[in-house]
Amino acid sequence: MMDNVGGSSSNIAENSGIIREQDRLLPIANVGKIMKQILPPNAKISKESKETMQECVSEFISFVTSEASEKCRKERRKTVNGDDICWALGSLGFDDYAEPLRRYLQRYREQELDRANNPPKRG
């Protein structure tokens, strides 16, 4: 009992001052699944590869998001929306990604409108 209590209190103190792994990085299983989509069925991915890709994609998300957030800060807006992300990709030189993402965002909004106009029936 005493050991458990001490352990839990130390964990609470430790967690309050630390950025947890799951808050800083994408889930490694999801990263592995996305990497597997582009590979042949019998290919294997080492854990080191997944961890390296996990670090890279998490940093890329923070990189693009900080660019979009800076734009919102200058325009005195608090919400970062999809258009800001597309603009950020373009301003950072990722024009090849910005255009497909705009089309994706357009279709996503059309889909949301369809859902709003035709709510699913209950029961």
Partner 1 sequence: MPGKADTDDWRVERGEQIQFQSSIYSHHQPWRCGVGENASKSSSADQLNGSIVNGITRSETNDKSGEGVAKEYQNIKHAVLSTPFTMDKHLAPNPQMELVGHSVVLTSPYSDAQHGQILTTYGQQVMINPQLYGMYHARMPLPPEMEEEPVYVNAKQYHGILRRRQSRAKAELEKKVIKNRKPYLHESRHLHAMRRARGNGGRFLNKKKLENYNSDATSDIGQNTGANPSTNSPNTQHLFTNNENLGSSNASQATVQDMHRVESFNIGYHNGNGLAELYHSQANGKKEGNCFGKERDPNNGAFK
Where do contacts with partner 1 occur on this chain (CB under 8 A)? 3-4, 6-8, 10-12, 17-22, 24, 27, 29-30, 32-33, 47, 51, 55-56, 59-60, 62-63, 66-67, 70, 91-96
User: CB 117 → partner 1: shortest distance, Å?
Assistant: 25
Nearest to partner 1 of 86, 117 (CB atom): 86
Helix (H) or strand (E) holding 102: helix 95-117
Residues 6+ apart with CB under 8 A from 97: 89
Number of residues written out for the chain: 123
Instruction: Determine the Cα–Cα distance for residues 68 and 83; give it in Å rounded to an integer.
Output: 9
Nearest to 16 by CA among 26, 8, 5, 28: 8
Nearer to partner 1, 10 or 81 (CB): 10
Q: In the complex with partner 1, which residue's Cβ is closer, 30 or 117?
A: 30
Of 19 and 116, which CB lies nearer to partner 1 in the complex structure?
19
Please list, residue by residue across 77-112, b when 16 or more beta carbons sit within 10 angstroms of its beta carbon and e when fewer do.
eeeeeeebbbebbbeeebeeebeeebeeeeeeeeee
Shortest distance, position 23 Cβ to partner 1, whole Å: 10
- Nearest approach in angstroms of CB 11 to partner 1 is 5
CB of 66 to partner 1, least distance (A): 6
